[in-house]
Structure 1
Amino acid sequence: MAEWYIQQLDAPEDIGPLRPSDLLMKVRAGDVKPDTLIRKDDSAWFVAAEVGGLFEAAMRPTIEYFCPQCERPVNEPPVRCGNCGREIHKALTRITENTISSGSVIPGQPGRSVQSWLKRKMLRRPQDGEA
């Protein structure tokens, strides 16, 4: 799984590694803004605005699933509850509408996936011997 890092100008250390879901939470909280420097795994640092789809993904609703018997969190069905062992085909759900703290939205940026952004980034890397 990809690990993300956030560069903090006033802090001695970078924040990370973060899972993609943790990075989205930081975007929603306003901790990551379009001009925040981030990197994926061991890539170079870049501004968050360059990650196509990052801010759009942070605004998508979050769906959580729960066992109908014990009400503990579970993965998307079909699944077996790790707590009570029940085979679940239809779970209880909670949908959270997400927002982004003001100042983090990039107006007019077309929705692009993070995957396609990363592919373009990799294609732009200079080859050995190039400047």
Structure 2
Amino acid sequence: MAEWYIQQSDTVEDIGPLRPVELLKMVRSGDVTPETQIRKGDSAWFSASEVGGLFEAAMRPTIEYFCPQCERPVHEPPVVCAYCGREIHRALTKITENTIAGGAKRSKVDQPGKSVQQWLKSKMLRRDEENEEGTG
């Protein structure tokens, strides 16, 4: 699983590791803006605006599922509730429409449909090409 880190300008320590869902929550709360420096794993720091699809993903609705019997959280059906043991084929759902606090502007670099994995792959290819040019 991907681990993300955030560089805070007002503190010495970085925040992380964060799971992707935690990073999205920070984007939604406005703690991560397009200018925020972030990194994935042990990569170099870069602006959050360079991660294609990050801000679009933060604005997508989230769906939570709940057991119709005990009303506790469950995974997407079909599933067996870990709390009451009921086999669930249709769960109660809660859909949350998400927004970004402060209305973060969409970056020109942010390309809809471009996954983080694709972005990292292209970034690594560019770095490899630059290294080859420097040694050649």
Structure 1 length-normalised TM = 0.92
* Partner deviation per Cα, 1:62-111 (whole Å, 9 max, x = no partner): 00000011000011111111111111111100000000012523156431
- The root-mean-square deviation of aligned C-alpha atoms, in Å, is 1.6
Q: Which residue of 2 aligns with 1:85?
A: 85
Question: Matches of 2:63 and 2:48 in 1, distance apart?
Answer: 24
Q: 1:115: how far off? A: 2.1
What is the CA–CA distance in structure 2 between the aligned matches of 1:84 and 1:121, rounded to whole Å? 47
Letter in 2 for 1:28: R
Structure 2: gaps (5+ residues) = none
Specify which of 120, 123, 135 is matched with residue 121 of structure 1. Answer: 123
| Identity in percent | 71
Higher helix share: 2
Contact 1:6–1:37, Cα closer than 8 Å, also in 2: yes
Cα displacement (A) at 1:125 = 2.1
Query: Contact (CA 8 Å) 1:7, 1:36: kept in 2 or not?
Result: yes
Q: Retained in 2: the 8 A contact 1:32–1:104?
A: no
User: 1:1-131 counterparts in 2 under 5 A?
Assistant: 1-106=1-106, 109-111=110-112, 112-126=114-128, 131=134
**More moved, 110-119 vs 47-56:** 110-119
Distance in 2 between residues matched to 1:107 and 1:8, nearest whole Å: 20
Is the CA contact 2:49–2:107 (under 8 Å) kept in the aligned structure 1? Answer: no
